[in-house]
Structure 1
C-alpha cells in the first residue's frame, strides 16, 4: 500500500508536470529536448528543404500533432516515422508539435 507522503508527492509531481506542459515556454524547452532525435532527418530546427522531407518548422501545432498521432496509430504510413511515433506519449507529441510550430 502507498503511504500518504508518496501519494501526495505523486499528485504534486503530476500537477506540476501538467502545468509545465501547458506553459508555452516550458513546452518549447521540453520539446527542444525531444526534437533532438528528429535532427538527423528533419534538421536541427525542422527546416529541411526538399520534396523528400518537407519542412516541419513553422507548421501549425495542430497539424503537426495530428500528423504524429496518425503515424502513431498507423493510419499514416512511413518506413521510419510510424515506428518513431509509436514511442511518443500524447504529451510528448504535443511538446514536439509546440516546439516545431514555434520554429521559423
Structure 2
C-alpha cells in the first residue's frame, strides 16, 4: 500500500513536467478539468490537484496506461460476474447486438 502512496506522491510532485512534456495544450487540460485558467496555474504551482482532477489529468496525459487499467478492470469485473453466476447466453447477446444494429 505504501508503494501506491509514494507513486502518487511522485506523480503529483512531477505533474508540472508531465503537463509541459505532453502533446496537449494547457487550454485543453483546463477545459477538461472545468477550472479557470488562474486556478489551473495555481494548482500546478502548488501541486494541489484533487484526486478527481488527478484522475482526469492522468487519463489524458497517460492514455495507454489508462486504457490498460480500463481493460484490467473490465476483466476483473467479468470474472466476478462469472463467479456470481451473472452470465448470459451467447445466442441472447448476439440477438441483442443484431437488434441494436438494425435500429
Task: State the TM bucket, normalised to the shorter chain.
Answer: under 0.3
Instruction: Give the TM-score, by structure 2 length.
Output: 0.26
Instruction: Give the TM-score, by structure 1 length.
Output: 0.26
**Highest RCO, 1 vs 2 (Cα 8 Å, sep ≥ 6):** 1
Q: Which has the larger radius of gyration?
A: 2
